[in-house]
Structure formats: C-alpha cells, structure tokens
Amino acid sequence: MITEQYLEQGIIIACCLMWRAESGHLLRFAPAVEEVTGNLMVSAGSQKTDWRHCGQLLADGIADLDLTVSAKARGDLMRYLQELVQWNKTYNLTAVRDPVQMVVKHLLDSLSVLPYIGKGQIADVGSGAGLPGIPLSLVAPRNEYILIDSNGKKAAFMRHVVRRFGLKHVRVLQTRAEDYQPDLPFDTVVSRACAAVEDLVGVAGHLCGPQSRMLAMLGKVPAELPDTVAGFRLASVEALQVPGLSAERHLAILERALI
C-alpha cells in the first residue's frame, strides 16, 4: 500500500493506493481504502455495508415522509452517504458511524424539514458535514444554499462534495456565522447545530431580513421556550416524525417580531 498526500485548503488529505492482484490494476480511494462490489462495500477491515438495504431504508423513509424525490436525487443522497462514510473514518466528521443509522439520523432527519424550507436563499448555520444543507440541496436544487461552518475539516469535506456532485447552487463558507456579513439577507436560516433558539438567534439573527424565517431543529421541546428572542417571535413549533427514529424531534420556526 502506498500513500500520497495532497494539500486542500490547508487540510492534508491522505489518498490510499491499492494494488488489486486479480486484475493488475492500481486503484485509488480517498480517504479510505474501499471497494464497491454489487450491493456491498467491502472495507479494508472486516465490516461490510449493505448499500441495497441502506437505499431501501432511504426510499421507505422518503415515502413515510410523504416527499416527492426523484430517482436521481435518491441516488445522489446515497452517493453523498458513501462519501460521508469514507471521510468519516479519517476525519471524524460525525459521531454516527453506522451507515444505516446515518440514513435515519442524518439523511431522513435532514429531509424532515423540507416542507418548511420554502424557496430562495437558504443558509445552513453550523452545517458540519453538510447537514441538513446538502441533502436539502440534492432534493430541492432550485434554491441556493450557503453552508457555514468554521471547522476546516468539515468545510473541506463539504467543498469536496460540492465539486464532485457539481452543485453550482451550493457554496461553502469556512467562517463563524456571527462573523459573516452577507450582501443580502437570506430567505431562510436553518440549523441543526444550536441547542436553543436563543443561541441560533444570537449567532445568525443578523443574516435575516424582515421577511426571513429561522428554523431551529431541536430534540425535545425545552420546558421554557421563549415567545420572543431579540427581535424574533416564535411563530410555531412543529413535531417532526423522522422514520426509524424513536427520539423526539421538533422544529422551532421564528419570524421577525412586528415593531
């Protein structure tokens, strides 16, 4: 096995080269050595991932969410999942390791907010590995998405996905949301990263205009959820039913308070 290194936006990424004896071909995979054979991804270790099962779980979950998603978009979601699984082995992008759990906790959880996203310019604050922004951009490509995260490794992964998938309508910003000053306000600001609506308003309220909405993806509804926060009012709290997830999920929707 030979390892070559290249520099991408200050992040050293290891690509692995493997000689496949049966064919005499040199294969390159980044960042982990894996071979996709039929419906199984055979890893360098002993674990195997049944991608057909993951794909069926995704398709069933989309149906349970009552969403209309094209076959191409479903395929792109699976490709994104495979990229995330590979990169996660080296760069710890997410604490969720099991691809089956990633379908539920990342893909379906992200897609559960699709009916509330609306149209126009969408900012995903604290996007991490691109969640929920990348899954949303794959199924609703008519919007424009800005994915904001200050972590260099996570930003590098998101840029990789944007390039590989040719997502012209998606841009990645490696910065703190509170430091970013857009030329125009966003139509919607969404985040899975903030534990409280007060936190989201504090770091991203300035990204909103008079008609903008903020979507805070939460677990359980806090015992004391404020009706107003720093110029925003709580418009509603929606219970999200994520297929395959027993934990509670909610969406707090905030709008500019009338003065």
For the chain, 259 residues long, the average pLDDT of each consecutive 10-residue run is 37 36 36 37 57 97 98 98 96 96 98 97 98 98 98 98 98 98 97 91 96 96 88 95 96 88
3-class DSSP state of 230: coil
Please give the pLDDT value at position 194.
Answer: 86
Q: What residues contact residue 55 under an 8 Å CB cut-off, 6+ apart?
A: 74, 78
Would you state the pLDDT for residue 259?
60
**Which residues, in sequence order, are CB contacts of 248 under 8 Å at separation 6+?**
219, 220, 221, 239
Fold assignment, 115-256: Rossmann fold (3.40.50)
* Burial environment of residue 157 by CB neighbours within 10 A (0 to 12, 13 to 18, 19 or more): buried
Helices (H), the chain: 51-64, 71-91, 99-102, 109-111, 114-117, 133-139, 152-165, 197-204
Task: Give pTM, 2 decimals.
Answer: 0.82
Give the start-to-end residue ranges of the domains of the chain: 115-256
pLDDT at 45: 41
Q: Cβ neighbours of residue 152 under 8 Å, at least 6 residues apart?
A: 9, 10, 11, 174
Of 27, 236, 33, which is closest to residue 116 (Cα–Cα)?
236
- Among 226, 138, 157, 144, which residue's Cα sits nearest to residue 187? 144
pLDDT of residue 236: 96
